[in-house]
């Protein structure tokens, strides 16, 4: 259960800010610890700057998103923490016809003030999957309690690069490489290996955005954990 009162304000020139109090109650099966209850009060704030030319299929410009929020755990009054993250995407046209552009993205995040197990699992950081490090299962590039049970971390680093080639009005080809991971400490210490995935995909362009079909493979695959290939289907570009 989650309830938020958020005030949004558009300041013009692609700049938006939002802030407001929130409350969330969750009963979750925290892997290895059994069922736990969390009641969390928060006051997050977010700043977004969008200087790209299209919401679903940007070809030039950049986007920046900054998030900062204090959290108070009401069922454990000793637990308070601060969560912050920053994400930046950049879009660089290389050739006009045939249309070829380079898209890059970087993200970093941290959580300070509390031990990982004191933080609700859905507030921790995770990496892996179609919107993160492609080639790996969803959330699997994170601390694991067993081979296939992600438990999340207190910090995050992700980097991505894509070459997007529009070969016809309604058809495009993409090649990509992603890297990243979530880590247990509040600051990334790369105690677990930085994971890399690469692959290719096709785009079918529609009036509501490109339909996306991607195939990713793990470059530094973990035996017994990662499959040889992952398939992703969605609408809109990855970032």
pLDDT at 3: 84
What residue has token string 């998103």? Answer: 65
Residues 6+ away with beta carbon under 8 Å from 34: none
pLDDT at 41: 96
| Phi (first) and psi of residue 127, to 5 degrees | -135, 155
How big, in percent rounded to 5, are the helix, strand and coil portions of the chain? 5, 60, 40
pLDDT at 27: 85
pLDDT at 2: 80
- Residue 29 and residue 145: Cα distance in Å, rounded? 13
Give the global pTM.
Answer: 0.91
- Residue 221 and residue 226: Cα distance in Å, rounded? 6
Tokens of 211: 């339909």
- Residue 7 and residue 190: Cα distance in Å, rounded? 37
Is-contact 67 60, C-beta < 8 A? no
Q: How many helices and strands (H and E) does the chain possess?
A: 0, 16
Structural domains of the chain ordered from first start: 2-235 (2.40.160.50)
Is-contact 125 156, C-beta < 8 A? yes
pLDDT at 76: 84
pLDDT at 1: 78
Which letter does DSSP use for residue 103 in this model? E
Is-contact 151 182, C-beta < 8 A? no
pLDDT at 31: 65
Is-contact 162 107, C-beta < 8 A? no
CA 209-215-217 angle, to 5 degrees, is 140
Q: Give me the tens of pLDDT residue by residue for the chain, a chain 239 residues long.
A: 788 888 999 999 999 999 999 999 988 876 666 788 899 999 999 999 999 998 888 999 999 999 999 999 999 878 999 999 999 999 999 998 879 999 999 999 999 999 999 999 999 999 999 999 999 999 999 999 877 789 999 999 999 999 999 999 999 999 999 999 999 999 988 777 899 999 999 999 999 889 999 999 999 999 989 999 999 999 999 99
């Amino acid at each position: 259960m989650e309830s938020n009162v958020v005030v949004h304000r558009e300041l013009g020139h692609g700049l938006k800010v939002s802030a407001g109090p929130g409350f969330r109650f969750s009963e979750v099966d925290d892997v290895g610890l059994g069922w736990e209850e969390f009641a969390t009060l928060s006051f997050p704030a977010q700043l977004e700057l969008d200087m790209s030319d299209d919401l679903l299929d940007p070809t030039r410009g950049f986007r920046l998103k900054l998030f900062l929020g204090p959290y108070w755990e009401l069922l454990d009054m000793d637990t308070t923490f601060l969560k912050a993250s920053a994400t930046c995407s950049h879009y660089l046209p290389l050739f006009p016809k045939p249309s070829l552009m380079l898209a890059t993205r970087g993200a970093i995040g941290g959580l300070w003030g509390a031990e990982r197990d004191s933080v609700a699992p859905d507030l921790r950081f995770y990496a892996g999957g179609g919107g993160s490090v492609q080639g790996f299962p969803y959330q699997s590039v994170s601390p694991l309690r067993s081979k296939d049970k992600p438990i999340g971390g207190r910090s995050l680093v992700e980097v991505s690069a894509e070459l997007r080639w529009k070969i016809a009005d309604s058809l495009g080809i993409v090649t990509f490489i992603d890297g990243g991971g979530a880590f247990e400490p509040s600051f990334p210490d790369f105690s677990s290996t930085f994971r890399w995935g690469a692959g290719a995909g096709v785009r079918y362009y529609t009036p509501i955005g490109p339909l996306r079909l991607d195939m990713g493979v793990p470059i530094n695959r973990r035996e017994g954990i990662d499959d040889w290939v992952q398939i992703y289907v969605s609408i809109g570009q990855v970032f």
